Amino acid sequence: MRLRNQIVAGSLLALAMAASPAAAGERHNRNVSVMTIVEFGNAVKPVVIDQTSRINIARVIEVGTGTVDATIIQDGTKNITQIIQVGTTTNALIAQDGLSNLVNLRQVGVSTNALIAQTGNLNTGFVSQFGLRNWLAIFQFAR
């Protein structure tokens, strides 16, 4: 009986994942903006997030068989971006303007590319790229 319940639960989970290849969640007001986007499949669409609240949080997970792209623009007091990308070619463009800026980027693919621009008093970037051709540029400026 227990094995049957596990099989049914696993089947329902697999069906739900197959039926919804992309999921997005968004909560924002003037003070806080939180966006989460999860995409997977053969034709992953480019992600573009533009946030202008005091506190901005963007989380993106993209898993595809081809090119995956994410563009994040944040203008607020505290900006946080977390991106995980897996694909043949992964591209990330992140622009942050605020007192405190944080980027956490993980890319896996044949070609990984990232451009990060941060303007603020406390700029932090964590980047991991696993690919045959990796390119990264980080520009950090104080106010």
- The predicted model scores a pTM of 0.81
Q: Is residue 1 part of a domain?
A: no
Spatial CA neighbour of 78 closest among 17, 37, 34: 34
Domain membership of residue 48 (yes or no) is yes
Contact 60, 50 (CB under 8 A): no
Least confident of 5-9, 17-21, 36-40, 87-91: 17-21
Query: Does 3 reside within a domain?
Result: no
60 occurs within a structural domain: yes
Number of folded domains in the chain? 1
Residue 28 has a pLDDT of: 61
**Which pLDDT value is given to residue 93?**
98
Terminus-to-terminus CA distance in the chain, angstroms? 63
Asked whether residue 4 is assigned to any structural domain, the reply reads: no
Query: In this structure, is residue 111 part of a structural domain?
Result: yes
pLDDT-wise least confident of 18-22, 41-45, 128-132: 18-22
| Domain housing 81 | 22-141
For 30-81, the pLDDT digits (tens) are 799 999 999 999 989 999 999 999 999 999 999 999 999 999 999 999 999 9
Token pair 């319940």: residue:
5
